[in-house]
A and B are shown apart, each in its own frame.
Chain A
Amino acid sequence: MKRRAFTWATLPAILVAVMMLSPVLWMLLTSFKLPPDTVAMPPRFLPGDMAPENSFWFRGTLGNYRHVFGDGDSVGPILNSLWVAFWATLVSLLTGSMAGYALSRFAFRGVHFVQWLILGTRLLPPLAVAVPVSFLFSRVGLQDTRFGLILLYSALNLSLSTWMMKGFFDEVPRAFEEAAFIDGYTRLEAFFKVVLPQVIPGLTATSVLGFLGAWNEYAFALTLTSIDAVTLPVRVHAISADSSSVTWGPLAAAALVSILPPVLFTFFTRRYLLRGITLGTVKE
């Protein structure tokens, strides 16, 4: 591939990228620092084995990561987050795509009302229902369970996944399903064999957003979990409160670990993601 020459027009883009990425860079560096280096002023930018008075260098350590994955009580929350985000994504994707398909294809009585009802749940600030949900969860024994979180996150994601998938299904001509009916398949078979494969970019885009939502959720997790089902965002915040002073090193390490899965997920699905987002704007 031919490499593009630098043009001044890319300068603003570079500036914005630096601004967006600098906190991540700070996190990355801090996660390898010993406590004194984390708060040193001026900041120390490069790892190395230099004299402490040289303000540019700090001594690198993996201790923070050892803390996160070892004795720091963070492995459980990482697994909890992975488990909960995975199932919440899957459940909301499956139910959302079926609901979206129904809204796209069937002109049943009250279809518009149902559509706005589903969207309406999105208009509510999630925390508005935090107290009733918490009350409800403790009554039915879902407090501090991963299953409870999966249920809740699936429900929170459902409106988004339904609406997104409805849009993707609208783009698939009905003729394909009709051909499948004539070929001898039922509606459900046609859905799985003919319609769903054609909205894979849409499924990917929807699942990325669903995964991010469930992975990053903090407020509900904070109120609904205490020991067994604590998720990574809650744990990351708790690290800072583990001791009397803020332990920046372990905090940065845990935070970095917490952004890794969504980054990887998005990276590997970026091809579909882009197609999913542009679907409907570009016709074949």
Chain B
Amino acid sequence: MTIADGNGFEPEVAARLEGVAKTFGKTLALAPLDLEIRRGEFLTVLGPSGCGKSTLMRLLAGLEFPDIGSLWQGGKDVTRLSADHRDVALVFQLFTLYPHLTVLDNVTFPLRARGMAASEAEGLALHWLRFFEVDHFSRLKPKGLSQGDRQKIAMARALVRQAGLFLFDEPFSALDPGTRESLWERVRMELAARGATAILVTHDQTEAMALGDRLAVMRRGQLQQCDTPAKVYERPANVFVADFVGRPGMNLLSARKFGEWVQVDELAMRMRVSEGVAGLLKQGREMDHCLVGIRPEWVVIADGGVPLPVEHVAALGPANLLELRLGNGLVRSWLPSGVKKNRGESVPIQWMASACRFFDGETGELLSWKALEVECLPGN
């Protein structure tokens, strides 16, 4: 059954936030937020520190309660339900293990709360300790174990449960990237095999994009965009998302619109745009200033392009990041690793019309404009 029954129970929805907002004193931690987490989904929440992502996590876990709005989990209103009554497992970034319990007792701890027999709980716990290759620590206290091992044990303590919602608050951020990736691979496979729902909060956009079925980008307590990582990457909802998602972020070039042409400032290049439906509905307001967004990989070096001087080349392994000077800013592009460019050398660049995104110069919101053609102006 996929449609809501009489009680409003929607089997495909694991959790839902309706207008949930939270303030601490006078600080707005979370602006009214609507979000639906689907069953079996891996949602990543990305944002800089202080963007409200941890507050979101704590609200979902029942460690904080919203000022307004309501929270639903598994078809139940859990807005005022405390953490011990919610079916949620959470792995923190720090202070993850109980220092006075052995590793094994740490992992059985949530099972014992639910009244599982000691022998059964220990069997299960050992299975998950073995899964993360930390079972040889089972009789030790966490003190003296490395941060990496502690986090693995904390993850075992979460996975030992059959929780309706798994929450991860940057659990592996203290580990080196290689270990982190292999751990995530195993955790993600396990969660997928169970059909479990999980939310990962992170400020690492590579991790967020790689792991998430959907990616929610937050800033200053406000949800900026929530969509598949590919969609977020290709059509960022505003300039913040455009810059924050992707490494390096999208090139954002200041531009002006004259009639149906958009002219990039200080660049001898212009684009003819159609404003789409929004253009037809437009009520006389003539957009003057706008931003042209273009991903570095779409900025190509081609004969007949507009020449720009090389500012810096950063060797990143598979490809080199090429930074070109444009007025006071930079245009980033990629160079194949074999190609050499020197500082000050002139490089002709160009891009395809389909790669261009346009943002409102004042609000920074994505516009529905479509570039139809790109014209490099002669005689520059």
Contacts and interface: CB of A to CB of B under 8 A. Distances in A.
Contacts of B95: 173, 175-176, 179
Nearest to B87: A184
A226 interface: no
Contacts of A173: 94-95
Contact of B98 (A181, A184, A194): A194
B110 A184 contact: yes
Contact of B96 (A179, A185, A198, A284): A179
Interface in B15-67: 61-63
A111 to B, nearest CB: 15
B359 to A, nearest CB: 40
B92 A175 contact: yes
Contacts of A175: 92, 94-96
Given A175-B95, A176-B95, A197-B100, A181 B110 contact: no
**Interface on chain B toward A: helix, strand, loop, or mixed SS?**
loop
Given A184-B110, A184-B113, A184-B114, A179 B98 contact: yes
Q: In this complex, which of B63, B86, B89, B157 has the most chain A Cβ atoms within 10 angstroms of its Cβ?
A: B63
A214 B64 CA distance: 42
A61 interface: no
A178 interface: yes
Given A175-B95, A179-B90, A185 B113 contact: yes
Contact of A182 (B90, B98, B99): B90
A181 B114 contact: no
Q: How large is the interface on B (under 10, 10 to 19, 20 to 34, 35 or more residues)?
A: 20 to 34
A124 B61 CA distance: 46
Contact of A178 (B63, B86, B100): B63
A181 to B, nearest CB: 4
B84 A181 contact: yes
A22 interface: no
Contact of B82 (A176, A181, A194, A284): A181
Q: In this complex, which of A175, A179, A186, A198 has the most chain B Cβ atoms within 10 angstroms of its Cβ?
A: A179
Contact of A198 (B86, B90, B100): B100
A178 B60 CA distance: 13
B138 to A, nearest CB: 18
B241 interface: no
A182 B100 contact: no
Interface in A66-121: none
Nearest to B58: A178
B134 interface: no
B251 to A, nearest CB: 41
B109 interface: yes
A179 B86 CA distance: 13
Contacts of A185: 84, 113
Nearest to B114: A184
A182 B83 contact: yes
A231 B333 CA distance: 87
B88 interface: yes
Contacts of B113: 183-185, 189
Contact of B83 (A176, A181, A197, A198): A181
Given A178-B63, A179-B90, A181-B62, A186 B84 contact: yes
A141 B99 CA distance: 47
Interface of B: 61-63, 82-84, 86, 88-90, 92, 94-96, 98-100, 109-110, 113-114, 143, 157
Given A178-B63, A181-B82, 9 more contacts: A175-B92, A175-B95, A178-B90, A178-B92, A179-B96, A180-B109, A181-B83, A182-B110, A184-B113
Interface of A: 173, 175-176, 178-186, 189, 194, 197-198, 284
29 contacts: A175-B95, A175-B96, A176-B95, A176-B98, A176-B99, A178-B63, A178-B83, A178-B92, A179-B90, A179-B92, A179-B95, A180-B109, A181-B62, A181-B63, A181-B83, A181-B84, A182-B61, A182-B86, A182-B88, A182-B89, A183-B84, A183-B109, A183-B157, A184-B84, A184-B110, A184-B113, A185-B84, A189-B113, A197-B100
